[in-house]
A and B are shown apart, each in its own frame.
Chain A
Amino acid sequence: MRRLALRFLRRDLAASDFRLLLIALVIAVAAMTAVGLLADRVKRGLTGQANWLLAADAALISDHPIPRAYLPGNGQAGLLVAETATFPSMVRSGEQMRLAAIKAASSDYPLRGKLETSLGVVHAPQAGQAYIDRRIAEQWQLKAGDALKVGSKTLTVAAIIVREPDAVIDFSSLQPRVIINAVDLPATGLIGPGSRVNYRLLVAGAEADVARWKDGIHSRLQRGERLEDAQESRPEVKKSLAKAEQFLQLAGLLAALLAGVAILLAARRFVQRHYDSVALLRTLGASRRQMQQLLLGELLALVLLASIAGGLLGWLGQEALAYSLRYWLESSGNERLPAGTPWPWLWASAYALLLLAGTAGPQLLALTRTPPLRVLRRELQPGLRLGAQWLLAAGATLLLLWLAVRDVKLALLTGGGLLLAMLASGAGGWLLIHLLLKLPFAHWRLALRPLARQPGLAMVQLGALTIGLTGLCLLTITRNDLLDGWQARVPANAPNHFAINIQPDQVATLTQLFRAQGASAPVFQPMIRGRWMAHNGQPVNPAAYPDDRAQRLAEREFNLSWGDALRADNRLIAGRMPAAGERGWTVEAGLAKTLNIRLGDTLVFDIAGSSVSAPVIALREVNWDSFRANFFVTGSQAMLADQPASMITSFYLPAEQRPLLREIANSMPNVTVLDVGQLLAEVRRILLIATQALQLVLGFCLAAGLTVLAAALELNASERSREAALLRALGATQGRLRRLWLTEQSLLGAASGLTAGLLASGTGWALGRYALELPVGFNLWLPGVTLLAGALLATGVSQWRLQRLARSSPGELLRN
């Protein structure tokens, strides 16, 4: 029996339908392995980059000196440790004084990422030395070797800071940075009881060791102490990272799903080809169980082959891509991508098995029910509920989509697009062919008759072609529209600076300074500090919130703003913006969800000693990617306009206009300007890596789309062969046959192309609009292009495939 199974496998490997099955599965495994491996490696690499933003793999942050008990203990010798203490203090140079953010760091700082200074990439300064922010250097014209007094300690300026790994946006430490060595800290005399110091214990090392260290201290944390890792440290980076991963997974899965359509079609042909073999084997005494074993064995061998070949292909693809991306990965502070694990490949193989089971399972099971009587009555074949097959395929597709993106909405939208393509192309194409048949063109009627005679098959062909083209078009849109839309979220001129602490009477001067430089004046927003006191009459108790983030949010002081108009980068999702004279709060939807705030709730904030109470009248969604100043909570003008406020603004400043910063620093020492260009560069880099990765996936999708075309032709190859034989026998010339097929296929391709273009534009628009929240329009030119492309592709592939049939002699065709 095993030998017979091997014999069947060997012979099937030579059959075109089986090869198409294999090719489709290889493509599916390769695409998913490549995407999975790449996503995993890039994610871990980017987590490394995010760690770079933390200067460590994890940090323990505390408002009091860090207890020694938290230091990695015995058995954790592999972990690197550094400590920093950050606090605001006055620094002096000669007679000049200003507020600065001092960071006292131990010698190993930073553990991750690079501290770039005018000396190059360095660690913390040596004892007695200081690195200073460019702003201080520019303001006071300081250079290396000059003296700087920090508290009671005089230090030598050793270098100017170019880039600091963990320069977080933290409104409490917006002053320009001065980094000193931790050993000089006691001598400054700046730290005493009641000092506002942010202590950090930085830890880095192997993933498992760091995780163990975090687990070890997590339960021992006291008030004022918290753990942070890269994922939590930067919501902007985290969001970009998650989106990049989701995007890649989706693209990879599109390739796999296209391959799934090819599998579905090729499996039908495989099944049709095996009816006779199964009937014969059953007649010769094979039990149904034996048939199931035979087929299952063959399919497992198929998946195994596909898994090996696809895994190899996927690994090679992503390896090549990782190599081409090395410049970007290295330039952002990472040495190289972490090595891949076999998990993505194993998952891809499991997905392929699921794909095969979903798209071909019922057909193959039905095959084992072929009645032995078929050896005498060839018209007999097992009942094949195609509807059930399509339903199962749709279910498997949705499951795969969900497994890949873990987002029901996105899975349903993408799956819906594909399903719609199938239904619409079947019905629409069929209608189109009927219309064409009614036209007074005899040649068209003759050409389309084979399709009209077998509506089911015609619909499958139309569906396959349409889905293949829709996939390709979706990618066209993905590459051009979705990516453009995505990148447009972080435009090249996104603000790269924030200026805060601006007094209302300085707005006019600042605006003039910008205009004088030829820069457009930024928009100023009022910022008011307020503490959240009560929620629906109940005092706010941070400890009552179950999760840490909610506790932190409830505990800290809020930056409030006011205004009655909805800003362009905000979207109203519930309620309405305040009317003139109305009192009310508007709350960012994410925060509202975390803190369990609902529309209509009453919130009380303590602002400068007085309580301000009002209902929540609107929930807003904020596009944080815009990098503009945004607020979790804003109040109506009528309620907050009279409160003491400073102004905040964000603006884009190109490198050549940097002198403006010195002017601001000199003329308005109280104003703090924060450079967020570095953070922006990180987010943009993630986008670039994702864009590059998509190129690889596109290759797999193209291959899968072409496999669908080939499988659709393979499906009716024998019918066409018989028809060709008859027509040739009845006197049709090769040229006539070719012309007939050319007409049939070009009309079929054009119908599919038109449908595909419309569907892809619609799906792309829906995906962008509702799932990815990107401003993508309906692509109007696409249907025209796909009409032509469909006709050309279908005729091209079919002529290549059918050329042989047209040339064969009628006798030969009839004999086969």
Chain B
Amino acid sequence: MLNSPQTASPLLAARQLGKTVKTGTEQLTILHDIEFSLPAGESLAIIGTSGSGKSTLLALLAGIDQPSHGDVQLDGQSLAALDEDGRARLRGQLAGFVFQSFQLLPDFTALENVLVPLELHGVADATARATHWLERVGLGARLDHTPRQLSGGEQQRVALARAFAGAPRIVFADEPTGSLDTATGAHIADLMFELNAAAGTTLVLVTHDPKLAARCSWQLQLQGGHQIALHPNTAPDGWPA
């Protein structure tokens, strides 16, 4: 068995997690028996080549897709025991999201986009909090701009503000720099790790960028849907572990 970040009470845990889909008449297994535990405050990079099952795993861990077998425990709650609405409620309470394609509402301003999860869950000082987080990501002057008026990097910063404004305990990020050029991607990565560290949030990051993966405390490597490695990061090239 591979090393695993075992703790007494992990925030996120996968148990025998697998996903099989039907393609025509055949069953295709795209994830096999993923098994790990991630303590709160840690960061986990899921790495692998295209088609290795990274995004599928992230979707299962966040409860936005359902496994064919196995289970995910999020903050001690079994996702398999919850229905779709139950999983949504749990996501609303615990999770923030950053996507490769930003997933901002195109007609909403930057401020309104950050307000969406806050107002959805009835947060009292939503506007003040959203403004604070947008200032924090350097967009204090762009509150009323819609995604169309923002660059890709700026849009991803809005997405970061949205992910962290709800004070989540865990952030799921799917290729957060995948749509950005190298320099902008690096800035976004810096910002994400900085916010993550400051908020003490647990981070699950899907990436194919080894450098980005190396900035996480743990790495889980997938190949053809199999978990081939799970190990803690050392601090290569001077990056903090």
Residues of A within 8 A of B (CB): 1, 3-4, 7, 11-12, 14-15, 276-277, 280-290, 371-373, 375-378, 815-816
Contact = CB atoms under 8 A, between A and B. Distances in A.
Contacts of B90: 285
Contacts of A276: 103, 105
B89 interface: yes
Interface string B70-99: 000000000000001100111111010101
Given A373-B59, A373-B65, A376-B58, A284 B122 contact: no
Contacts of A283: 62, 64, 91, 97, 103
Contact of B119 (A4, A12, A376): A4
Contacts of B91: 283-285
A376 B64 contact: yes
B105 A286 contact: no
B64 A375 contact: yes
A376 B174 contact: yes
Nearest to A287: B85
A371 B85 CA distance: 11
Contacts of B93: 285
A285 B122 CA distance: 12
B115 A7 contact: yes
Contacts of A281: 116, 120
Top 5 closest pairs, chain A to chain B, by CB: A285-B92, A4-B119, A372-B64, A11-B107, A287-B85
B88 A286 contact: yes
B225 interface: no
B112 interface: yes
A14 B107 contact: yes
B53 interface: no
A286 B88 CA distance: 6
B234 to A, nearest CB: 31
Contact of A280 (B55, B85, B103, B112): B103
B121 interface: yes
Contacts of A378: 101
A277 B120 CA distance: 13
A282 B58 CA distance: 16
A83 B55 CA distance: 92
A1 B148 contact: no
Given A285-B92, A816-B148, 17 more contacts: A4-B120, A11-B105, A11-B112, A280-B105, A280-B116, A282-B88, A283-B64, A283-B91, A283-B97, A285-B89, A285-B93, A285-B95, A286-B88, A286-B92, A288-B88, A373-B64, A375-B103
A283 B174 CA distance: 13
B217 to A, nearest CB: 24
30 contacts: A4-B115, A4-B119, A7-B112, A11-B107, A11-B108, A276-B105, A280-B103, A280-B105, A280-B116, A282-B88, A283-B62, A283-B97, A283-B103, A284-B92, A284-B120, A285-B89, A286-B92, A287-B88, A287-B89, A288-B88, A290-B120, A372-B64, A373-B59, A373-B64, A375-B103, A376-B58, A376-B59, A376-B99, A377-B55, A815-B148
Contacts of A816: 148
Nearest to A378: B101
Contacts of A372: 64, 88
A285 B120 contact: yes
A5 to B, nearest CB: 9
A780 B91 CA distance: 65
Nearest to B122: A1
A371 B95 CA distance: 17
A208 to B, nearest CB: 52
Contacts of A288: 84-85, 88
Contacts of A282: 64, 88
Contacts of B97: 283-284, 375
A4 B65 CA distance: 26
A282 B62 CA distance: 12
A377 B103 CA distance: 12
Contacts of B103: 276, 280, 283, 375
B176 interface: no
Contacts of B126: 3
A435 B202 CA distance: 61
Contacts of A289: 85
Given A282-B88, A376-B174, A1 B107 contact: no
Nearest to B58: A376
A21 to B, nearest CB: 15
A15 B108 CA distance: 12
Contact of B120 (A286, A376, A377): A286
Nearest to B118: A4
B107 A4 contact: no
B55 A376 contact: yes
A8 to B, nearest CB: 9
A378 B103 CA distance: 11
B117 interface: yes
A371 B59 CA distance: 11
Contacts of A280: 103, 105, 116
A15 B107 CA distance: 8
Contacts of A284: 91-92, 97, 116-117, 120
Contacts of A3: 119, 126
A287 B88 CA distance: 6
A482 to B, nearest CB: 46
Most buried by B among A1, A280, A288, A290: A280
Contacts of B121: 285
A375 B107 CA distance: 17
Most buried by A among B88, B93, B95, B148: B88
